[in-house]
Amino acid sequence: MDTEEKIVSMPRIGDKAPSFTAVTTQGTIHFPEDYEGRWVILFSHPADFTPVCTTEFMTFATMEDEFKALNCDLVGLSVDGLYSHIAWLRTIKEKIVFRDMKNVEVNFPLIEDITMEVSRLYGMIQPGESSTKAVRAVFFVDPAGKIRAMIYYPLSTGRNFHELKRVLKSLQAVDKHNIATPADWEPGEEVIVPPAGSCGTAKERMDGNDEDIRCVDWFFCLKKLQEEEAGAMV
Ligand code: BEZ
């Protein structure tokens, strides 16, 4: 593999998450093996001590318990070194107030990646945007270590963490109930059943007497998850 190919190589949805060992603010991690049996979101940010990244870390750290309740761990990365990470996280805790957040402690691991080994492995270095900083990449890795979704944002645009949580909940509902989720879906709303071609024809469903299912057309059926199924999702 030549250098240019290495820079642009990136995993795809459905691939096994590429393995690596890395030093982090919480000690050494073996990814994704250490997270087997749990969901994990691996995300990159361009640089420590930058304002957009600071707002993102404060937001993600404040929401960490909500992700933990969904059986999901968080792992951050930038191409800065460990001492920069430690100093930046200390500054966040001691000095930064943003919206209603202050004294925010970041307890999830932040990978040091000065060599860019991990960021290249995951296609986080996108030279058209920056060849010295990682873009804002987000990888959703399932409990079996498979990449299930990826989202990339440019350096300029801070992420929407409610959307990251919504995507995680959708993936978990898809796995649990063999359904798909419509545009802007939120837990408690109708889901699409079953994904086209995966279980009987829509005509059979339309003609059937399953009272839970509402067919809008031959290709388009919806249902509400049972109260306890929907309620089980945080
Ligand atoms: C920021 O996080 O503020 C930032 C980082 C890199 C480029 C632009 C903004």
Residue 37 sits in a domain whose CATH number is 3.40.30.10
Going by pLDDT thresholds of 50, 70 and 90, the confidence category of residue 149 is: very high
Same domain, 138 and 178: no
Domains identified in the chain, total number: 2
Question: Do 31 and 75 contact (CB within 8 A), yes or no?
Answer: yes
Query: What pLDDT digit, counting tens, does each position of 32-63 carry?
Result: 999 999 999 999 999 999 999 999 999 999 99
Same domain, 196 and 149: no
Same domain for 115 and 191, yes or no, is no
Give the residue whose CA is nearest to atom 1 of ligand 1. Answer: 52
Pocket of ligand 1 (CB under 6 A): 46-47, 50-53, 133, 155-156
User: Does the reported pTM lie above 0.95?
Assistant: no
Question: Are residues 117 and 224 located together in one domain of the fold?
Answer: no
Percentage of the chain with pLDDT > 70?
Answer: 86
Among 44, 45, 50, residue to substitute to test ligand 1 (most atoms within 8 Å of Cβ): 50
Please check whether residues 53 and 132 belong to one and the same domain: yes
Long-range pairs, 161-166, Cβ under 8 A, ≥24: 161/56, 161/59, 161/60, 161/63, 164/41, 164/138, 165/63, 165/66, 165/67, 165/70
CATH code at position 226: 3.30.1020.10
List the domain range (segments joined by +) for residue 124.
Answer: 3-159
Where among 133, 159, 185 does a domain terminate?
159
pLDDT per residue as tens digits for the range 117-126: 999 999 999 9
130-135 long-range contacts (CB < 8 A, ≥24 apart) are: 130/46, 130/155, 131/7, 132/79, 133/46, 133/47, 133/78, 133/79, 134/44, 134/45, 134/46, 134/77, 134/78, 134/79, 135/44, 135/46
Q: Is residue 221 in a domain?
A: yes
For residue 224, give Cα distances in angstroms to 28, 76, 208.
Answer: 43, 35, 17
Neighbours of 29 (CB within 10 A): 19
Same domain, 46 and 22: yes
- E strand or H helix that includes residue 93: helix 82-95
Residue 167 placed within a domain: no
Percentage of the chain beyond pLDDT 90 is: 84
- What residues act catalytically? 53
Are 94 and 182 within one domain? Answer: no
Same domain, yes or no, for 74 and 116? yes
Same domain, 9 and 122: yes
Mean of the per-residue pLDDT values of the chain: 91
